[in-house]
Chain A
């Protein structure tokens, strides 16, 4: 609006005052921008020193052997080469992480969507229910919840004793290689609050006329969901899938706390990030750990790009067409 007005004035009125006016505005705009950038300086300084700097340095370190004590030694691609050819624990950690991602992402999102649909109703106290279901996610990444989980599922814990009182065999979930990962997966799925809130917002955006229209056509509940909710929610679903997948790849705290930093028992909870941490901070192989970090970044980037590609097929943007 304002820019067209300005253009109009420039074109019609006598040139002198208009140019002068224009110049003042430009000058003013320049000063505003400078002030803006200067105000951003602390942030720029922060991101340069604390994010970009270490990022570039870690890329350099990934081509070296570095134990913190002696200066880094250049080894070329040796770290990357070792990872894929001579490190069975690396491949194992990839496997554990993939299992986690493949199970947690869909289960968590299905739970989130289900609960969001339940909470998308007009009912007394609905605000309270929404807060309650969101609560676990607020505690989610904290060490305290992981500790609670650990004591719940370890020997003599509430879960083990509860199952025993039902006549099931006593299991020490945390210290049993076949149960430790499922316990961590369960913890992750329980924290479905964040995607749930996003789903809820998405559900509220769906125009009720569409539901009225399919009702007139005699649709049942499943058909309402399948032909109205799902397509109109697909951008939100895509967003959540993307976010949760990336989050799952980066899962660290619960595995670290529950296994005491070992990835045990018998490496059953050796997440990629946990192994990376061990390489860096337990074995002091920072070159190798940096290389692992870059491989993870590359893998997640490729996967994200792939998901964007595939999304064109199934994500429906209501503003006309699939882009």
Chain B
């Protein structure tokens, strides 16, 4: 039998326990309602800025931001970065939740989609106005959606072949020269294959690379996309491109399918880095990463031509945009302007994102560049006059077509289907993607 006191005691224990549990669950649910990111305190404005990239780019960017904070003591900038894939996933989620950073680096392929959902502030006029008079107007135009300037290019890149000079010299094969043709690629590849005793392939098979196909089209005066965002080429064009790649691969001039599949792993693990290909299609803004992945000396060579055309153009390697819901659009635009125009920013950034947007600063930097920066600057300077007009921003769905290209040509190169059958299924799926 219980005594009255123990019952009473027990009851009070229970009350306390219930109260404790209620408090605990309340505090648990309260976790969801955190406070927003950018607020001001004590007259100081706090901005958030995020980008994708590796550690070396992060260091360069932090240095540029430190210079900005020194010049603008009332503004502090909090930063975040990640690698490309996760970055885009996170950014899309942040935008969906209404909490994107004030200033964000965006990919050209996402620009249309973000702009259409009114995520990006107009940078031509209003509180977010940015001075872009120092940029090449055509290049700055790549950040336009209709009449609105929704983004500013944050680095200029162009297409190239990255060539392993050390390996070619050891084999006694001449480094390809500007103006070479796709026939020369076949001869070059065959020579490399023969002289290396089959250990080295001439080039990494470009058949999975969407951008390589684009420059191949531009060489013939054709476009990847029409002005209204549909496919600008036909099934025959893709069949011809893949047949060419197929022949290069079958003759041993280009890498076999299993090695080509490693291209998606990035510069650190691709055939050029592993020493199984002597040359590889890529943007010159990636040159430093390629150089870091090998001990060999690398060099940049212009793309092979058709009828004298390289099909190379000035591409924004990435762009900067201000979030439409930013609480501090003026300050965010100020930071943006600093990052694309100021010499201190240019010095800190180097060529970590390709060439600096402001042309006057770009020339000053080129004059004093060293190492990999100099290789890129020299390459861009030598080819500036050859560049084709920059196409309009790719439509929504561009990212899916990049992976579609990898997937279907992957099947072709493994011998699962012919280039023509592959092109047929590509066209069908691509139209479905762009139509939706």
Contacts and interface: CB of A to CB of B under 8 A. Distances in A.
Contacts of A69: 92, 95-96, 113-114, 116-117, 119
Contact of A262 (B93, B117, B258, B406): B406
| Interface residue SS majority, chain B | helix
A175 B261 contact: yes
Contacts of A38: 17-18, 21-22
B81 to A, nearest CB: 19
Contacts of B119: 69
Given A70-B117, A265-B410, A282-B403, A45 B25 contact: yes
B416 A177 contact: yes
A155 B135 CA distance: 46
A260 B259 contact: no
B400 interface: yes
Nearest to A154: B262
A274 to B, nearest CB: 13
B269 to A, nearest CB: 9
Given A68-B92, A70-B117, A260-B264, A42 B407 contact: no
Contacts of B414: 176-177, 265-266
A85 to B, nearest CB: 12
A34 interface: yes
Contacts of B113: 67, 69
Nearest to B260: A175
Interface band, chain B: 35 or more
A140 B118 CA distance: 44
Contact of A175 (B92, B262, B436): B262
Contact of B406 (A35, A44, A86, A264): A264
A68 B261 contact: no
Contacts of B432: 86
A42 B24 contact: yes
Contacts of B96: 68-69
B258 A155 contact: yes
A34 B117 CA distance: 49
Interface in B236-278: 257-259, 261-262, 264-265, 274
B56 interface: no
Contacts of B411: 266-267
Nearest to B18: A38
Listed residue (B22, B261, B264) with the most chain A CB atoms within 10 angstroms of its CB: B261
A281 interface: yes
Contacts of B25: 41-42, 44-45
A155 B261 contact: no
Contact of A46 (B28, B92, B400): B28
A60 interface: no
Given A68-B92, A68-B95, A283 B400 contact: yes
A235 B245 CA distance: 57
Contacts of A299: none
A266 B416 contact: yes
Interface in B111-129: 113-114, 116-117, 119
Interface in A244-261: 260-261
Contact of B407 (A68, A266, A281, A283): A266
Given A34-B18, A265-B414, A45 B29 contact: yes
B24 A31 contact: no
A322 to B, nearest CB: 45
Contact of A172 (B14, B117, B258, B403): B258
Interface string B1-32: 00000000001001001100110110011001
Contact of A284 (B14, B92, B258): B92
B384 to A, nearest CB: 35
A265 B257 contact: yes
A50 B139 CA distance: 46
B42 interface: no
A262 B85 CA distance: 12
A148 B85 CA distance: 22
A172 B257 CA distance: 11
Given A42-B24, A46-B28, A70-B117, A262 B264 contact: yes
Given A68-B95, A260-B265, A49 B32 contact: yes
Contact of B410 (A31, A49, A155, A266): A266
B32 A262 contact: no
Nearest to A50: B32
A155 B273 CA distance: 14
A146 B21 CA distance: 41
Contacts of B24: 41-42
Given A39-B17, A281-B89, 13 more contacts: A38-B17, A38-B22, A49-B29, A65-B436, A68-B92, A68-B93, A69-B95, A69-B96, A70-B117, A177-B416, A262-B406, A264-B264, A266-B407
26 contacts: A32-B14, A35-B14, A35-B18, A41-B25, A45-B25, A68-B93, A69-B92, A69-B114, A69-B119, A155-B258, A155-B259, A172-B259, A175-B258, A175-B261, A176-B258, A261-B85, A262-B264, A262-B406, A264-B407, A265-B258, A265-B261, A265-B410, A266-B414, A281-B89, A282-B85, A283-B400
Q: Which 6 A-B pairs have the closest CB atoms?
A: A175-B258, A69-B117, A41-B25, A68-B96, A42-B25, A266-B410
